[in-house]
Amino acid sequence: MVDEIRHQYEEDILNLSFSGRHTLGTPKVIPPDPQLEERCSNLILSDDQIERVSATLLKEIENGLRQKTNGEADIKCYPTYVRNLPNGEERGKFLALDLGGTNFRVLLIHLGEATPEKEFASRIFAVPHQIMTGPGEALFDHIAECLALFVKEYKVDKEVIPLGFTFSFPCRQEGLTKARLVQWTKGFTCANVEGEDVVELLQRAIHKRGDVTIEVMAVLNDTTGTLMACAYKQPACRIGLIVGTGLNACYVEKLDNIERWDGDFDDPKQCIINTEWGAFGDNGCLDFVRTEYDKALDAATLNRGRQLYEKNGIWHVYG
């Protein structure tokens, strides 16, 4: 079914491209193709449908924030414990690790201490398929090995540099340096990781090597990292949005609206919320806009019935 959809999609695009061609001189007007329009009609939402999706999204976010309804909510709205936003005056040297797909990036960042062309250095490492689907220990051993290679390459292996760990999978955070994986997404199925603290697993793999000293100072989602990075130069930024291998968003919420908040209520009385809205619709609330293509696509994935909004919204799955 997926191959049939892909073939039809390619055929439609081909027809569309030919319909837009014209020779030099006066453009030739090609009348619309009724069959093509009919085939694509259910992919275009009406204004009423868009408003209904918007209202449903707001309701699901509110359910995620409430104590009584969080258990049944498909948008979990995890507090990140990140409460302060950068103001552009931060200074120092930091490591960053960004894991969220088949590749991950390691960065060495200088804030306010280097010339613009030397503000950061980065390197991308691959995550082989056998590691994505193998034991969890092998995954974190691989990450620790790549971290060691990176800090040695840039000759900072003798320094103790704080590391920010961007782990872009649904996690239930229990503090700034503690996050338990709720479920794997994006094709990862590593055993013995779900339900475990990913920071502890990474630190264990680093300490096991014994050749570098790296301490994780914060764990966050890529949406939170995106918001923080933008706020460093644009202090008014309050929303982070990811449209890539995954689909997710975060935003700044008042503590009074977070019924599951278990921290203090000192200033600032706010916290970044990681919505994990890739699961929006998993409870059936978006069935009114799902098409036969969405259903066929979901049926061909490893995690059927889960992350439906993410699957519907990310074009890479059609490849």
Instruction: Write out the catalytic residue numbers.
Output: 105, 168, 222
Could you give the angle at the alpha carbon of 229 between the alpha carbons of 145 and 213, nearest 5°? 30
For residues 194 and 190, what is the distance between their CA atoms, to the nearest angstrom? 8
User: Is residue 245 within 8 Å of 100, Cβ to Cβ?
Assistant: yes
Kindly tell me the sign of the dihedral angle through the C-alpha atoms of 69, 71, 75, 80: positive
User: Is residue 298 within 8 Å of 308, Cβ to Cβ?
Assistant: yes
For the chain, the helix, strand and coil percentages under 3-state DSSP, each to the nearest 5: 40, 20, 40
User: Is residue 280 within 8 Å of 66, Cβ to Cβ?
Assistant: no
For residues 148 and 209, what is the distance between their CA atoms, to the nearest angstrom? 9
User: Is residue 286 within 8 Å of 308, Cβ to Cβ?
Assistant: yes
Give which of 133, 132, 139, 130 is closest to 102, Cα–Cα: 132
Tokens 């090995």 correspond to 145
Q: CA separation (Å) from 160 to 144, 156, 197, 212?
A: 15, 8, 22, 9
For residues 220 and 198, what is the distance between their CA atoms, to the nearest angstrom? 11
For residues 319 and 315, what is the distance between their CA atoms, to the nearest angstrom? 8
Task: Please give the torsion angle defined by the CA atoms of residues 257, 222, 161 and 117, in that order, rounded to the nearest 10 degrees.
Answer: -120
Would you give the distance in Å from CA 271 to the centre of its chain? 18
